[in-house]
């Protein structure tokens, strides 16, 4: 408040100094627009008659000629309020007389005579004012000049000439008025040009009367982060009732802490209920708490208001005595509750306390993901808000999962550890045994890693593959017999056997892969042309033709060996064909592939092979087309032996085909056991290391089971290159 007063004062002085210009008689009365830094734009104002001048000259009539007789002249001088008039005589020459009885210049302030002058500078009598100026007590001065009619020396007296000027009056040093109204200013008086200002000591403020001072309440709003407040006049009790309000208001997000000094004294009344702040009190009010009235002789010390706005109302009445109080306040950032922990995650930074504008971050442990409201989030931060609450609730860390592992065709997987595809779960792939086995044969284990991908224990494994198990039927034929001279094959013993129905005609084939059937070329040729694939029906997994009720498998494409050329049925060289199936087969105990020959596989003379088919069978010396799958075991015949047999047959018969190195023979010299019509394309299987492999394809023969003749089979080992190529390219 003191500062404010000073500022006010300065402004007053500026205005006062401008009044000099305002009252300049040469410029006349002016109105000025005051700009900053004393720059002023002044415009002449019409000069009112009554406006007082700042200075002037008063002279006797006809001065410097002698003044005429019988004069009675009066001048009423005035200067602006707040000024005195200083009158200085430049010359005075008036007829001298005792008491200036005849001619005189009388100077009056209202009715009070300040001087009565006559004579001249060197005259012995009269009353000459000399060089001493006359000062009026106020802003007025009256001059009265009189002369009589009788003066012998009149021609010698020229009268007077005087100058007057306005002099600033120091109101402050003026004695206290006698009317008992007290001093001009109760505390500090500051003289100004033409006026004065009152001001107050620290802790006081000027009353509306602009004279007296009262204890300051401080008042106003304290918005600094810290400050000092005290009761009016502290530590002295105020002389009268006070009712002061102080408001501390800082940015939201901060709380105000009051720290009362030890010297605390507010009158408290002893009532039946104990001490009570009945007449004097300091009330502390915050937005969300009950107001608190303080009084007594003990300092409340530190009060944490938990609010950013605090109102203090100090009230006393005219009675009683309170010395008052003093406090320092400071502000603290609002505190948020400890955020707590996140299971399987980390909250950072870890602090003992968290305040407004503090951030925390949550990260999940490896293998866990951040979840908020059931949604996964990339990252998480939350801030301590100005209301002391975190702006977001803590997230949760949920274990990640890798999703369903790639399914394995003809296989499956088992969890070695973990479940629900969760992080660190370990799954092992397996193929559906005994029909499939893992490519490479190694146990492939996949682990759900932190990047949510299933990763294998073996770097090179991209994805496991199940390959069919070949040549290993779930049941083995215990007694080998024959087709011509054979027996019915029990179920599941020759699961690669295919019954071919081509345009109504019966033939055989063998499953060599989940999409491939191998047969004889002559089965799928008619009149020098390949049969249309639509006419080919394949039945698998049966041992009885009647169970043809099972739906047939259809061909997607037929691939006859390019060098098969047998227009007259006398050249069965290259009698081999492959049929691609429309849909791959899933293997089971009744349908399984036969192995293709291994590299370097040989046909050892005398080694027994297994021939099978639904072809012609001999019963009671009659040949009938069997409805049951038959099989017979026949040995590999020496090529030389076979060749001789065919050469001799050619002598007695026409149109006997020739034997080539792409063929081999199987059978017994005495006959009685053989494949026959309808078996063509079927398998001749040799067994090595417990696996049956496709050594031959039933191709041709001279009659069936004839003595001295053998069945002729396509030598499959000669076609591996073509078979592999065809299967790869289609």
- Chain positions contacting ligand ARG, by CB under 6 A: 615, 674-680, 698, 700-701, 704, 711
Q: How far is the CB of 693 from ligand ARG (least distance, A)?
A: 20
| Beta carbon of residue 421, minimum distance to ligand ARG (angstroms, whole number) | 54
Kind of pairing between the strands at 30-34 and 40-44: antiparallel
Instruction: State in angstroms the smallest separation of the CB of 675 from ligand ARG.
Output: 4
Residue 170 is assigned to a ligand binding site: no
Nearest partner of 720 among 518, 440, 435, judged by Cα: 518
Residue 80 or residue 671: which is nearer to ligand ARG going by CB?
671
| Two tokens, residue 239 | 């002389």
Catalytic residue among 265, 522, 559, 561: 522
Q: What is the DSSP letter of 653?
A: -
Q: What three-state secondary structure class fits 385?
A: coil
CB 281 within 8 A of CB 295: yes
The CB-of-626 to ligand ARG minimum distance in angstroms stands at 13
Residue 109 CB neighbours (<10 A): 18
* 8 carries an active-site annotation: no
Annotation says 583 is catalytic = no
- Please state, in angstroms and rounded to a whole number, the distance separating the CA atoms of residues 680 and 637: 18
**Residue 569 is labelled as binding a ligand:** no
Is 103 annotated as ligand-binding? yes
**C-alpha closest to that of 480 among 493, 463, 497:** 493
Q: How far is the CB of 686 from ligand ARG (least distance, A)?
A: 17
Q: Is 245 left (phi over 0), alpha (psi -120 to 50) or beta?
A: beta
Q: Which among 93, 514, 575, 674 is annotated as catalytic? A: 575
Q: Is 168 annotated as a binding residue?
A: yes
CB closer to ligand ARG out of 60 and 645: 645
The SS3 assignment for 719 reads helix
Catalytic residue among 268, 425, 645, 680: 680
What is the three-class DSSP state of 537?
strand
CA distance 486 to 472: 21
Asked if 556 and 582 touch (Cβ cutoff 8 Å), the reply is: yes
For residue 515, give the nearest of 596, 579, 590, 581 by alpha carbon. Answer: 581
Identify which of residues 261 and 639 has a Cβ nearer to ligand ARG in the complex. Answer: 639
| Sequence-ordered list of residues with C-beta below 8 angstroms from that of 519, at least 6 positions apart, any chain | 498, 500, 507, 508, 509, 510, 576, 577, 578, 579, 680, 681, 697
| Residue nearest ligand ARG, CB atom distance | 701
State yes or no: 272 annotated in a binding site: no
Distance CA 576, CA 519 (A): 6
Q: Is 589 exposed, middle or buried (0-12, 13-18, 19+ CB in 10 A)?
A: middle
Of the pair 155, 622, the CB lying nearest ligand ARG is at 622
Long-range contacts of 128-136 (CB under 8 A, 24+ apart): 128/92, 129/89, 129/92, 133/86, 133/87, 133/88, 134/86, 134/87, 134/88, 134/107, 135/84, 135/85, 135/86, 135/87, 135/167, 136/84, 136/85, 136/86, 136/87, 136/109
Residue 318 CA, chain-centre distance (Å), reads 61
User: Is 295 or 525 the residue whose CB approaches ligand ARG more closely?
Assistant: 525
CA distance 120 to 96: 7
With respect to ligand ARG, which residue has the nearer C-beta, 408 or 665? 665
Closest contact distance (angstroms) between CB of 641 and ligand ARG is 16
Least distance from C-beta 677 to ligand ARG, angstroms?
A: 4
Q: Whose Cβ is closer to ligand ARG: residue 324's or residue 678's?
A: 678
Rounded CA gap, 212 and 201, in Å?
Answer: 11
Q: Considering the complex, state which of residue 82 and residue 613 has its C-beta at the smaller distance from ligand ARG.
A: 613
Q: State which residue, 23 or 700, has the beta carbon closest to ligand ARG.
A: 700
Known binding residue 148? Answer is yes
Whole-number Å distance between alpha carbons of 510 and 498: 5
Is 680 annotated in the active site?
yes
Contacts of 18 (CB under 8 A, 6+ apart): 32, 34, 38, 40
Output the smallest distance, CB 495 to ligand ARG, in A.
21
Please tell me the distance from the alpha carbon of residue 53 to that of residue 26, in angstroms, as a whole number: 10
Question: Which amino acids are annotated as binding site for Ca(2+), given as ranges?
Answer: 95, 103, 148, 168, 171, 191, 267, 317
Residues belonging to the active site? 522, 575, 680
Question: Which amino acids are annotated as binding site, given as ranges?
Answer: 95, 103, 148, 168, 171, 191, 267, 317
């Amino acid at each position: 408040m003191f500062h404010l007063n000073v500022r006010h004062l300065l402004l007053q002085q500026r205005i006062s100094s401008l009044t000099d210009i305002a009252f300049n008689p040469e410029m006349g009365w002016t109105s000025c627009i005051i700009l900053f830094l004393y720059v002023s734009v002044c415009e002449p104002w019409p000069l009112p008659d009554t406006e007082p001048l700042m200075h002037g000259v008063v002279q006797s009539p006809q001065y410097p000629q002698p003044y005429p007789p019988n004069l009675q002249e009066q001048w009423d001088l005035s200067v602006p309020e707040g000024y005195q008039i200083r009158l200085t005589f430049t010359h005075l020459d008036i007829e001298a007389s005792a008491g200036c009885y005849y001619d005189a210049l009388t100077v009056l302030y209202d009715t009070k005579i300040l001087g009565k002058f006559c004579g001249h500078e060197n005259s012995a009598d009269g009353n000459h004012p000399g060089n001493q100026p006359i000062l009026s007590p106020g802003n007025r001065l009256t001059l009265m000049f009189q002369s009589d009619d009788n003066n012998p020396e009149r021609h010698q007296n020229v009268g007077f000439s005087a100058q007057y000027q306005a002099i600033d009056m120091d109101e402050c040093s003026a004695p206290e008025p006698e009317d008992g109204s007290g001093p001009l200013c109760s505390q500090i008086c500051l003289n100004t040009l033409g006026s004065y200002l009152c001001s107050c000591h620290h802790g006081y403020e000027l009353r509306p009367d602009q004279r007296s001072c009262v204890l300051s309440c401080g008042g106003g709003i304290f918005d600094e982060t810290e400050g000092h407040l005290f009761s009016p006049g502290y530590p002295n009790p105020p002389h009268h009732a006070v009712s002061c309000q102080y408001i501390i208001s800082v940015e939201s997000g901060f709380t105000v802490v009051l720290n009362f000094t030890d010297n605390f004294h507010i009158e408290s009344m002893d009532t039946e209920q104990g001490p009570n702040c009945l007449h004097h009190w300091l009330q502390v009010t915050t937005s969300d708490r009950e107001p608190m009235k303080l009084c007594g002789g003990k300092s409340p010390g530190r009060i944490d208001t938990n609010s950013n706005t605090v109102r203090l109302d100090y009230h006393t009445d005219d009675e009683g005595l309170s010395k008052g109080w003093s406090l320092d306040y400071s502000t603290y950032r609002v505190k948020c509750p400890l955020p707590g922990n996140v299971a399987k995650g980390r909250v950072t930074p870890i602090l003992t306390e968290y305040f407004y504008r503090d951030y925390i971050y949550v990260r999940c442990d490896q293998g866990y993901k951040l979840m908020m409201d059931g949604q996964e989030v990339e990252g998480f931060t939350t801030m301590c808000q100005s209301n002391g609450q975190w702006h977001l609730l803590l997230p949760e860390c949920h274990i990640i999962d890798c999703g369903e592992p790639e399914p394995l065709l003809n296989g499956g997987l088992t969890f070695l550890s973990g479940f629900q595809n969760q992080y660190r779960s370990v799954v092992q792939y397996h193929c559906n045994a005994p029909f499939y086995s893992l490519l490479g044969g190694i146990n492939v284990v996949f682990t759900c890693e932190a990047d949510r991908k299933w990763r294998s224990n073996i770097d090179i494994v991209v994805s496991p593959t199940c390959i069919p198990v070949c040549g290993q039927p779930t049941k083995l034929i215990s007694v080998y017999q024959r087709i011509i001279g054979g027996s019915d094959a029990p179920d599941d013993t020759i699961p690669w056997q295919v019954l071919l129905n081509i345009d109504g005609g019966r033939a055989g084939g063998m499953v060599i892969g989940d999409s491939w059937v191998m047969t004889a070329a002559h089965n799928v040729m008619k009149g020098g042309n390949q049969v249309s694939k639509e006419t080919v029906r394949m039945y698998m997994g049966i041992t009885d033709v009647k169970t043809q009720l099972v739906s047939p498998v259809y061909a997607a494409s037929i691939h006859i060996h390019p060098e098969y050329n047998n227009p007259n049925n006398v050249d069965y060289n290259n009698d081999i064909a492959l049929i691609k199936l429309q849909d791959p087969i899933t293997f089971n105990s009744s349908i399984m592939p036969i192995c293709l020959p291994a590299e370097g596989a040989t046909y050892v003379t005398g080694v027994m092979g297994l021939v099978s088919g639904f072809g012609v069978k001999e019963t009671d010396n009659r040949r009938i087309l069997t409805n049951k799958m038959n099989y017979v075991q026949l040995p590999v015949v020496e090529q030389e032996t076979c060749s001789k047999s065919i050469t001799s047959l050619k002598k007695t018969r026409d149109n006997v085909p020739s034997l080539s190195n792409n063929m081999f023979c199987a059978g017994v010299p005495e006959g009685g056991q053989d494949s026959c019509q309808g078996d063509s394309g079927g398998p001749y299987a040799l067994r090595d290391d417990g696996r049956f492999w496709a050594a031959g394809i039933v191709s041709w023969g001279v009659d069936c089971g004839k003595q001295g003749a053998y069945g002729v089979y396509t030598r499959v080992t000669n076609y591996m290159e073509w078979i592999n190529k065809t299967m790869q390219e289609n």
